Amino acid sequence: MPESQARVFISHSAKEDRAREVQEALYEALKDSEALVPLLDKSDLEPGDMWRARINLWVGGCDAAVILLSGKALESDWVFYEAALLTYRRGRDPGFLVVPVYVDVDAATVEASRLHPTEITAIQAVHGAGRPVADIVEDVVTELGKAVCCGASPVERRARRLAGLFDVFKEKHLREAARFIDYDLKPWLPADDAQLILAAQLQSVGMRAAARAVLSLAASLPANMSEQEKADWLQKVVDLVASSWVDERAIERIPPIAKGQANPFALGLNAAAPLTARMYVLGSDAGEPEPWKLVPCDGIVGQDKVEKTIEELTAKVGRVLAAELKCKPEAVAGVLKKRNAWNPRPLFVSLPGAGMSDEILEALRQAFPRVTFFLLMGDAAAGGPPLTESMLEVLFPQLVRGDEDLFLESYDTFQWSVRP
């Protein structure tokens, strides 16, 4: 792909004839363009560890996007996820072009759909209801004429930290590992950096597809590395590959809140496992010299009085922080102050959201003012804790039902499958 060409991702639901006709005609119209190259994946994604990583590749590897909105698309988990991330990218980067196409729906229908939080109706759209497919495609291509190649994509930026772990290998080892990834990523990736290419591949295909490539790399680690160094290297790779499951829009708000640059001071996610929260934290701290830490802590249940809950929960949080900081519980506040004096590094504590209230969370903030609390609010259908927006920011987009369970199962299998 010539460097001057802008990569155009086509988001669609292929379950309706008219939407499929528009998608196919648009792809053909872009195929021979000198300035644009269409990116379209026709594989059927089933729920699993790879679908979020693959969609993050599509959304994060393009320079412009077309979102085909039809009746079925408005009901699709995939289209909702893609639209949320694409509109987020557009909001952050004025040079990133998003073209919504109302194939057989109108703005009012889109506004009333589950896509409402993405604010996609605020973007100038191509209207297709009742119009010939050729006319729709012509209008879309005209809009795409404004697209430019944006340089390093979010996929490339996210991959750089993982690529840094590959300095210990010769290029032949990287190419040997890449042979185990059975998916053509060439249109989406840079062409001249073997370390970055492999890192982006590993983070874009899901843990199952990445396992054999990681095993190949582990077998090629230098002989002068100790067993502990090899184990530490492998764990870092596992975590960085797994964290590609997290989307960029959800983690955008974590750094400013964790660094005290924005309100509120606590985060929420419709997840249940501390590991899930750790993946969000790990995905949000790219560019930092050391990964940010998240310390899991159990909640308190069965207490009749708020005062008793606050007392016990504060003591419990103090103990887990003391273990992490290697100090006595009564010394936690002083150690946190010294730890952050010259180089503030966010520290997170995950807690179950059940039973949490503004009063309890405020008491925790007073006891541990330099800690960001990450509340695990459970399944998507369970609803959130009774907290006000000034206390808690719920990360968006939220997890699709069942997605966390699939991730946790995949992560566990991935860890075991790559051990020497």
**Which of 40-44, 85-89, 149-153 shows the lowest mean pLDDT across its residues?**
40-44
The winner for highest mean pLDDT among 244-248, 260-264, 340-344 is: 244-248
Q: What was the pLDDT predicted at 259?
A: 87
**For residue 141, what are its two tokens?**
């291509």
Work out the average pLDDT over 91-99: 87
Provide the pLDDT confidence category of residue 381 given band limits of 50, 70 and 90.
very low
Q: What was the pLDDT predicted at 44?
A: 53
Separation of alpha carbons 378 and 271, rounded Å? 5
Provide the pLDDT confidence category of residue 150 given band limits of 50, 70 and 90.
low
Q: What was the pLDDT predicted at 385?
A: 52
1, pLDDT greater than 70: no
What would the pLDDT profile of 335-369 be if each residue is shown by its tens digit? Answer: 988 887 777 789 999 999 988 889 999 999 999 98
Cα–Cα separations (whole angstroms), residue 396 to 117, 148, 224, 380? 9, 28, 45, 12
Could you tell me what percent of the chain has a pLDDT over 90?
53
Separation of alpha carbons 198 and 181, rounded Å? 9
Could you tell me what percent of the chain has a pLDDT over 70?
92
Work out the average pLDDT over 143-152: 77
Work out the average pLDDT over 78-99: 88
Q: What was the pLDDT predicted at 313?
A: 94
Provide the pLDDT confidence category of residue 94 given band limits of 50, 70 and 90.
confident
Q: Residue 60 forms beta bridges with which residues?
A: none
Burial 262-276 (b: 16+ CB within 10 A, else e): eebbbbbbbbbbbbb
Provide the pLDDT confidence category of residue 237 given band limits of 50, 70 and 90.
very high
Separation of alpha carbons 370 and 412, rounded Å? 32
What would the pLDDT profile of 47-80 be if each residue is shown by its tens digit? Answer: 566 778 878 888 888 889 999 999 999 998 888 8
Q: How many residues does the chain have?
A: 420
Q: What was the pLDDT predicted at 41?
A: 66
The winner for highest mean pLDDT among 11-25, 119-133, 185-199 is: 119-133
Work out the average pLDDT over 236-248: 91
Work out the average pLDDT over 364-392: 79
Mean pLDDT of the chain: 87
Instruction: Choose between 413 and 7: higher pLDDT.
Output: 413
162, pLDDT greater than 60: yes
Q: What was the pLDDT predicted at 180?
A: 94
Q: Are 207 and 409 in contact (CB under 8 A)?
A: no
Cα-flanking dihedrals φ and ψ of residue 154, to 5°? -55, -35
383, pLDDT greater than 70: no
Work out the average pLDDT over 289-311: 84
Provide the pLDDT confidence category of residue 398 given band limits of 50, 70 and 90.
confident
